[in-house]
Amino acid sequence: MTITITSTIKKLLLLFLVIAGLYYARVFLIPLCFGGILATLFLPFCNWLQRKKTPKFFAVLICLFTIIVVIGGLLSLFGWKISGLMKDVELLKQRAIDSGIQLQTFIFNRFGLSAEEQLSILKKEQPSYANIMQTMVGSLSNLFGNLVLVYIYFIFLLYYRGHIKQFLLKLSLEKNKSEMENIIQTTAKVSQQYLLGLFKMIACLWIMYGIGFSLLGVEDAFFFAILCGFLEIVPYIGNIVGTTLTVFVAALHGMEISMLGGIVLVYATVQTIQGWLLEPLILGAQVKINPLFTIIALVLGDLIWGIPGIILAIPLTAILKIICDHVEPLKPYGFLIGEIETDQIESGFIKNIKRGLSKMQKK
């Protein structure tokens, strides 16, 4: 009994030290993790280019150029939309003023605070414009620096992937080298499948949200479809935030209550299709994390690394689960993090669809 308690205390202490290390090394680890995930995602493309006799250095540069175009395109899209919203600033300002007057009236009727007293309280709590600008400049410079680091890590992790693999093999004993190589290959393959599957699912969400919002007559329907789908990177929270923003902007543009309810209905329908059809088909249960550990991962990610931690929490936890599933002593932890076995939860409908897709691919 004493041995068991001592072993448990050691494991808890190790867990605490790991979390503390992740927190204090976040400035170094966050860009490295983003670069590593992107490198894993582009590994099949890089290998394909090399099989086509493209020199390794140029294959890595083509991958870098591709990712810069994709990220630049998304940032341009969001920037274009934000500039479009700024054209409606007068309408938004007037609606905000009307809402502010209604809120002031409610506070006066409820708490007896006059408009002057409310304004005085706001001035005391509101930070100065100089502090706001200083914070914005600092955040932008920090974002730019981290983005450059992500690209650098992306390049070198792709270029030296074989070197890193040899390092991991040298760490293992001679009798375990074949097992270690199998673990590395399997983990890399399933991680790529997960990341590619995630982006396939996001593309499907773009299509479904785009159709639903267009039929409802939502202004800039495809932009909000892309926003809602892209925020799926953060489970539960992201799609709710995207839908809330869609409802909010639609309300500011004067959409009726029934149409706003239609947006919520589209969201509920898409989420149902995603949970019962897309996730089992595209992701599969082997990399799915159960809801309990999804929430735990998101909370820990936020506490340790903030917003980047929320974005990285699910991919890193999924990769951790994959590693646990292929390392014998860690298999119980992979089982704990994961969903119930596929055979127990998949319906015959899903299995039939998978069989049909397999036959189509063979043809």
Structural domains in the chain (count): 1
In a domain, 362, yes or no: no
| 155 within domain boundaries | yes
CA–CA gap between residue 243 and residue 85 (Å, rounded) = 17
Average pLDDT over residues 144-158: 88
Between 145 and 106, name the one with better pLDDT: 145
Look at 37-41, 188-192, 286-290, 306-310 and tell me which has the smallest mean pLDDT.
286-290
Give the pLDDT band of residue 281 (cuts 50, 70, 90). Answer: confident
**pTM of model > 0.75:** no
**Bridge-partner residues for 338, per DSSP?**
289
pLDDT-based confidence at 311, cuts 50/70/90? confident
Q: At 148, is the secondary structure helix, strand, or coil?
A: helix
State mean pLDDT over 151-168: 89
The confidence score (pLDDT) of residue 327 equals: 77
Q: Which of 31-40, 240-249, 286-295, 354-363 has the lowest mean pLDDT?
A: 354-363
Q: Over the stretch 77-131, which tens digit does the pLDDT of each residue have?
A: 777 766 666 655 566 666 666 666 666 666 656 666 565 655 565 555 555 544 5
Residue 260 C-beta-side C-alpha neighbours within 13 Å: 14
Does residue 263 carry a pLDDT above 50?
Answer: yes
Element counts in the chain: helices (H) and strands (E): 16, 0
- Is the pLDDT at 293 greater than 70? The verdict is yes
Closest CA to 197 of 159, 232, 222, 239: 232
Q: Which residues are 289's β-sheet partners?
A: 338
Count Cβ atoms within 10 A of the Cβ of residue 241 and give its class: 0-12 exposed, 13-18 middle, 19 or more buried.
Answer: middle
Cα distance between residue 296 and residue 23, in whole Å: 16
Q: Looking at 18-123, which runs of residues are DSSP E strands? A: none
Domain membership flag for residue 225: no
Whole-angstrom CA distances from 323 to 35, 110, 157, 329 are: 19, 57, 19, 11
Residue type, 227: L
Check if the beta carbon of residue 230 is closer than 8 Å to that of residue 202. yes
Residue 337's pLDDT band (cuts 50, 70, 90): confident
Q: How far apart are CA 86 and CA 296, in angstroms?
A: 38
Q: In this predicted model, what pLDDT tens digit does every residue of 205-255 receive, in sequence order?
A: 888 888 888 888 887 788 888 888 888 777 667 777 888 888 877 777 677
Q: Does residue 83 sit within a domain?
A: yes
CA distance 153 to 156: 5
Token couple for 114 = 């006059």
What is the domain extent for residue 84? 27-159
